[in-house]
Structure 1
Amino acid sequence: MKLLVDVGNTRLKWASVAGDARLRPGGVFAHTEGSLVAELRREWGALARVESAWVASVVSSAREEELAAFVRERFGLRAQFVRSPAVALGVRNAYAEPERLGVDRFLALAAAHAREARLQVLVSAGTALTVDALDAAGQHLGGLIVASPLAMRQAIVAGTARVVARGGQLRERPRSTADAVVTGSLYAAAGANERFSASLVSPGEAMPPLLLGGGGADELEPLLGQVERVHDLVLHGLALWAREAGTPDG
């Protein structure tokens, strides 16, 4: 069994894949709260016959070393930290310095391309909002990193004396401060996506298909029109990577 770990800015998600190549959901928890090792002991206490551990991480090297040390202790394995390459899994990275593209973004693009090869836009609404485009040949066309709607609201509340967002809702014409903050944050995120998507097509052409995932997807979806909801694309991309790489030596 291969252990797959997606360590985002806020949450750690994991899954496993065995001989049938089917992704088996594992668990998810906020790794910024409490002890990472204690959480991993609870999550992985019953796991057996782990042959390799593959990690997609966007956190600090110190946090990665915590995870690597626990993998060594628990399974006697060296954790394999994936970094974004120039080309892999049918995807060509648009960055001049490929490793600077977040590996979560690269793996999600690889999973989307494996799912269907076409011009498409992938939106991930997490701690940050990322928007990436990919063409039918697997060429990454670049992307955006935007403050998530939640981060926008937190920044406004923290930076002003009398603005609150608690209890605010999405309204077409907000008539309270809380509704104005919530609606403004969602409009800003949706507008960034719309402008980026429009740049990919000629005037009058249909917008490319939009894949939406991440913990903040529910509140953003009503403003994005027709979308395809996707789940765990990073883990699916990591499964593709692990299959391509085989089983490394511990």
Structure 2
Amino acid sequence: MKLLIDLGNTRLKWALWGQGRRSMGGVFAHADTSLEAALSNNWTALPKPEAILVASVVKSTLEQELTRLLESHFEQTAEFVRSPAQALGIRNAYAEPERLGVDRFLGMAALHAAAPRAQILVSCGTALTLDALTAEGQHLGGLIAPSPTLMRRSLGTATARIGEHAGELVEIADNTADAAWSGCLLSSVALIERFRQQVAQRIGTPVAVVGDGGGFDEWIALLPDVERGRDLVLRGLALWSERGHR
């Protein structure tokens, strides 16, 4: 069994992978507790894995903390996967390939392995990321923006009277809470739609859109033709564990 870890800015997701399938896994918000306490609660009874693979987008100090905890708990050193120029059927568009978030690379790899087609991966966590991929596995590039949740948090921090109060989705708001809530959400939807149009125009073919991440459910109703992806980073890590850089 291999232990796969997706370490995001807000949450840590993990799974045990062996013989081509996932046997167990979990998720927790590491920002809400200490990493040590969360891992102790989740992994006390886990057997020692034959390998540990980590996809991380967090700062190096948190990676170092995770490394120490894994070595202490399992007596094993984790492999932190970084985005390569080419692997798993994906050709990275970045001139400095390692600067592409590895979560984005692995998510695209999982999508391409499941269905090689022209498609866009939209991941909504702390950030909203969009990546375009051809049917041949060529990454065309992408965009990064704040997620609706992060936009609202920024408004609440930077403005005196808006705050982070929950509102309702309306097209034209007559109160501040609804105006902020709807504006942040609809701006994300507009960005996704514009990106899809630009990619389709560039490659001359319709483009599928697949969404994943903790913030996905908030905007999916506004884009009913978007497909639901699940655990794409972990699925990409599983591919990496089986194929490596191939």
The alignment's TM-score, normalised by the length of structure 2, stands at 0.95
- Alignment match, 1:13: 13
Number of equivalent positions: 244
Q: Which shifted more, 221-230 or 184-193?
A: 221-230
User: Contact 1:186 / 1:220 at 8 angstroms: preserved in 2?
Assistant: yes
- Alignment match, 2:217: 218
Rounded to whole Å, the distance in 2 between the matches of 1:199 and 1:192 is 11
Matched ranges for 1:25-174 at <5 A: 25-174=24-173
Rounded to whole Å, the distance in 1 between the matches of 2:37 and 2:43 is 10
CA apart distance, 1:188: 0.7
2:10 is aligned with what amino acid?
Answer: T
- Alignment match, 1:208: 207
User: Contact 1:12 / 1:28 at 8 angstroms: preserved in 2?
Assistant: yes
Rounded to whole Å, the distance in 2 between the matches of 1:16 and 1:154 is 34
Give aligned-pair identity as a percent.
52
Rounded to whole Å, the distance in 1 between the matches of 2:72 and 2:163 is 46
User: Contact 2:11 / 2:27 at 8 angstroms: preserved in 1?
Assistant: yes
Structure 1, unpaired ranges of 5+: none
Q: Which shifted more, 93-102 or 64-73?
A: 64-73
Q: CA RMSD, aligned part only?
A: 1.6
Closer, same or farther: CA 179–66 of 1 in aligned 2, 3 Å: same
Other structure's SS at 1:96 match: coil
User: Contact 1:10 / 1:30 at 8 angstroms: preserved in 2?
Assistant: yes
Rounded to whole Å, the distance in 2 between the matches of 1:154 and 1:74 is 36
Q: Which shifted more, 228-237 or 159-168?
A: 159-168
Rounded to whole Å, the distance in 2 between the matches of 1:236 and 1:62 is 26
Other structure's SS at 1:112 match: helix
Rounded to whole Å, the distance in 1 between the matches of 2:3 and 2:125 is 23
Other structure's SS at 2:120 match: strand
User: Contact 2:157 / 2:163 at 8 angstroms: preserved in 1?
Assistant: no
Structure 2, unpaired ranges of 5+: none
Q: After superposition, give the CA deviation of every residue in 1:196-233 in whole Å (9 maximum; x if it has no partner).
A: 11111239x77411101111111111222311111100
Closer, same or farther: CA 242–11 of 1 in aligned 2, 3 Å: same
Rounded to whole Å, the distance in 2 between the matches of 1:181 and 1:233 is 30
CA apart distance, 1:24: 3.1
Q: Which shifted more, 114-123 or 223-232?
A: 223-232
User: Contact 1:165 / 1:177 at 8 angstroms: preserved in 2?
Assistant: no
The alignment's TM-score, normalised by the length of structure 1, stands at 0.93
Q: After superposition, give the CA deviation of every residue in 1:46-84 in whole Å (9 maximum; x if it has no partner).
A: 111410000000111111111111211222211000000
1:231 is aligned with what amino acid?
Answer: R
